[in-house]
Amino acid sequence: MGSVGKDSAPEASVTSLRLLTLHREILVEQVKNTQCILDNLRINGYICNEDIEIIHRAATKADQVRKILELVQSKGEEACAYFIHILHEAYDAYIDLRPWFNTIQYMPADFVREIPVINTDPISKYIEKLRQELGRDTQFLTSYSQQEDTLLEELYTDTQMEMMNDKGESLGYLENLDEILGEQGVFNQQAETIFITGDAGVGKSVLLQKLQNLWSKRELNTETKFFFKFRCRMFSAFKDTDKISMKDLIFKYNCYPDGDPDSEVFNYILRFPQTVLFTFDGYDELQMDFDMDSVPEVVSPEESTHPLLVLMNLLCGKLLRGSCKILTARTGTDIQSRIIQKKVVLRGFSPDHLKKYMARHFPMQEQRAVVSVQLDASPHLCGLCSIPLFSWIIFKTFKHLQSVYDNFELPDSCITLTNVFLLLSEVFLGRKTKKQGLLKRSMSCTAGIFKAGLKMLTAFAKLALFGLEKGSFIYSLEEVMSCGLNEEDLQVGFLRPVSHYDACGGTTTFEFLHLTLQAFLAAFSLVLDSYITPEGILRFFAKCEYNKTSHLPCLSCFGRSSHPRDTDPFQTNEHFQFTNLFLCGLLCKSNAVLLEHIVPPVCLKKKRVALKSYLSTSVKTHLRDLPRYPSTDIEGNKVHVMPNFLWMLRCIFETNSEDVARLTAKGISADYIKLAYCNIYSADCSALNFVLHHHRKCLGVDLDNNNINDYGVKQLIPSFSKMTVVRFCVNQLTDSSTEVLSEELIKHKIVKVLGCFKIVSN
C-alpha cells in the first residue's frame, strides 16, 4: 500500500501487513503507549469497544502490543497501514521509533495521509503544548524592541562561544548551538549545570531564546522532552512569605498539562529527570537580602517553600537530580565549579559575524556599502558593534535617523557608550515628534527632541532610578504610573510589558528593554533631578564598595560572599557600575551642549565638578593600592591591575577628561603594566589608549587572555610607539592583527618582548 519509500530496498514493495510481521519484535519492545493507538483505531472504525476490552485484559504492556498487532493484521492491509501511521504521527508518544522509521524509509500511502491522528497520550500532548508555547513566545525578538516585531529567524546571528575549563583556560570554540548541550567541554561529570557567561549585551538571553525556539521546532539535537524556561529576576519579585513547590513552579510559569487527572506528566518527569531541560536567565539579577536561615534544604518536589529556595535546590541538584540546567549570568558572577558541568563564555561578534549581522539589518546592497565604509573607518565603532546589543542600537538608530535626516552618518571614532544610548533615546523620544520631510540633522534638532520629550524622559529616568535603588527590575502598572508615565508613553520603546511573571497572561508588569538601558536612564535621573545634590550623584560609587550579606542557606555553592568588600569604588557590581559609567558620560563637557538645554547650566556644572573631584581622588587611591613587584620581562617594576581597573578606565574614557587621564597615567608609575585576565574587549582598547597616550615613559603592556581581537589592536596603534613589551596572547587575533603589529613594531623599533601566540587564521 506504499507505506514505505520506493527506494528502501529490499523493503520497497513490502506491504504494511508484512512490515508488522517482520518488525514485530522491535514494535513490542519500543511501543509503550497503547491508549493512543487504541483511541485512534476506535475513532476511525478499525476496532470496537469490545476489541479494546479484550486487549486491556492482557497482563503486561508487551502482551497488549502483541494483541493489537494480531488484531490489526486480522483487519487487513488498510488497518495495518493506519497503525503504522499512528506511530509516525504521534511523534513524542513514540519517539523511540524514530530510528526505525528512518530504517524502513517510511512514506505513508495517500489514503492514510487523509485519516487524522489524534495524539491522546497526556505526556505527548503536554510536550506538544510546551513546544507550541515556546514557539509562540520565542518567535519574535522582543528583548530589544517593543514597537517593531522582528522575527528571530530574520535577525539572529551566531556569536563566538568559547569553552572554558574549571581553571578558566580556553578549550576552544563551539561551532554550533547543539554543542552547548553536548559532551564537548564538560569538566565535571557529577554536575548538571551548563554555565553561560558574558558581558552585558553580548547576547545571553537571545542565545537562550534561540535554543528554545529550535527545540520548539524539533531542530535542536537533543533528547530533551521537557523544556522549562525561567528568568531569574522573577524570583526577586516574590514576597518573603510566598511559598511554592517545584511542581507548581514549573507548571505555573510555563504551562499546565491538559486532561491529566492522574499526574502522569509530572510522574514521568520525576521518573525520567534526564528528559528535562531548564534555562535560568540572568543569575546576576537575583536579589537575596532576606533572612531564610531557618529554612531547610528542599528535597521533595511537592514541598512548598520560598521560590528562591526551589531555584537554589534545583541548581544544586537536590531537586530533580539528573535534569539539565543552563544558567546565564554576566561576567564576574562567580559560581563554584562543583555545581558547574561546563562553562561557555560568549565573546560577541567576530568580524565575519558582524558582517552577517549587518547584512540582516541592511539587505539593500547600497545601504550596506555605506555602513560598511563608515565601520571600516572606525575600529572603535567596530569594537562597540562586536557586542550585539550595542550593534543593534547603532544599526537601528542609523536606519531611523537616516530616514528622518538626509545628512546622518554613523558617529565618529570618539563615540562613547553614553553617546550610543543618547542616540537610542533620541530615536525613542522622536517617535512622538511629527516629521515633515527630510531635515538637516543638527544639535538644535536633537536638543529640540529632548526638550519636547523632557517630561517623559524624566519620568522614565525616575522609574529606572527607583528600580535600581530598590533592586527591582520588574514594575507594576501602579509603579509606572506613579512616576508620571501614561499609556501613550509606554509605546515609545523604553519599557516593554511582560506577562510571564504573574502567570496569568496579564500585561500588568513592565521591565526596561535591557538592564543597561535602565542603568543609563538611572544615571540620567541623577543628572536631571535638581533635588539631587552634587554629592548625591555619587551614591552608586559608594554602593560598589561593599557586597550585600545574603542569608540564604545554600548560597555558599554560588560564590556569594557575606564579607564586606575592600573600599574601592571600582569593584565589580555591574548594575551600579554601568550607572556610574553613564553618569561620567552624561557629565562630560562634550555632552554639555545638549544637556544645557534640559538641565540648568549652573546645576550641571556643580555636578560635573563634584564627579571630577571624586574621580580624581578615587583614581589616586586605587592606583596607590595596586600591587607592584619586579618585572621578569624587562628591568623595572611591574604593576598588576585587577579587573576592576577596567571600570576605572571606562569611566575616565566616558568623561573625556584629559586631566583625569593624565592623572591616571602618572599614577601607574611603573615600567610594566599587567592587564591579563581582565576581560578587556575591543572597545576598551580606546579607553586604555586614552590613558596610555598621557604616559610619558615607555611601558611594557601585557594584555594576555582577554578579548581585544583585531579591532582592539587597531585602536592601540597610537600607543605602540611607547610599548617595550607587547603581549597579546589568546585574544582572538587573526593574521590581520599580525600585519598591523609587524608594521608598527618595525616603524618604532623599541619592542624587547613580543608575545602573540594563538593567532586564528582568517
What's the grid cell of residue 277? 531541560
Q: What is the pLDDT of residue 95?
A: 80
Stated as kind and residue range, the H or E segment containing 130 is: helix 122-137
Q: What is the 3-state secondary structure (H, E, C) of 460-495?
A: HHHHHHHHHHHCCCCEEHHHHHHCCCCCCHHHCCCE
For position 250, what pLDDT does the model report?
96
- Determine the length of the chain: 762
Structure-derived torsion over alpha carbons of residues 590, 591, 597, 603, reported in degrees to the nearest 10 = -90
Q: What DSSP string runs through 226-294? A: EEEEEEGGGGGSS-TT--B-HHHHHHHTT-PPSS-TT-HHHHHHHH-GGGEEEEEE-GGG----SB-TT
- d(CA 310, CA 446) in angstroms, rounded, equals 49
Residue ranges in the chain whose pLDDT is less than 50: 1-12, 143-145, 290-295, 502-505, 546-557, 559-567
What's the per-residue H, E or C state across 352-421? HHHHHHHHHHCCCHHHHHHHHHHHHCCHHHHHHHCCHHHHHHHHHHHHHHHHHECCCCCCCCCCCHHHHH
Return the pLDDT at 220. Answer: 95
User: Which neighbouring-strand residues pair with 639?
Assistant: 628, 673
HSE (CB half, 13 Å, CA atoms) of 298? Answer: 27
Stated as kind and residue range, the H or E segment containing 574 is helix 574-586
Please say whether the beta carbons of 234 and 474 come within 8 A: yes
Which candidate, 44, 69, 74, 73, places its Cα nearest to that of 55? 69
Domains in the chain, CATH or no CATH each: 16-119 (1.10.533.10), 127-346 (3.40.50.300), 365-441 (no CATH), 626-755 (no CATH)
Distance in angstroms between the alpha carbons of the first and the last residue of the chain: 55
How far apart are the C-alpha atoms of 738 and 364, rounded to whole Å?
Answer: 33
In the DSSP assignment, the letter for residue 675 is: -
Can the peptide bond before residue 718 be classed as cis, meaning omega within 30 degrees of 0? no
Distance CA 715, CA 697 (A): 20
Q: Nearest CA to 199 among 295, 321, 328?
A: 328
Task: Please state, in angstroms and rounded to a whole number, the distance separating the CA atoms of residues 97 and 31.
Answer: 8
Encode burial over 179-197: b for 16+ CB neighbours within 10 A, e otherwise: bbbeeebbbbeebbbbbbb
C-alpha to C-alpha distance for 63 and 83, rounded to whole angstroms: 17
Q: Give the pLDDT confidence of 138-156 residue by residue, as tens digits.
A: 998 864 445 567 889 989 9
**Residue 108, Cβ neighbours under 10 Å: how many?**
20
pLDDT at res. 407: 60
What pLDDT shows up at residue 743?
A: 92
Q: What is the C-alpha separation between 605 and 400, in angstroms, rounded?
A: 32
- Which amino acid is it at 228? F
**What is the distance between the alpha carbons of residues 417 and 581, in angstroms, rounded to a whole number?**
9
* In 631-722, beta strands by DSSP E: 637-640, 672-674, 699-702
- Residue type (1 letter), 321: R
Angstrom distance (rounded) from CA 631 to CA 645 = 20
CA distance 405 to 428: 15
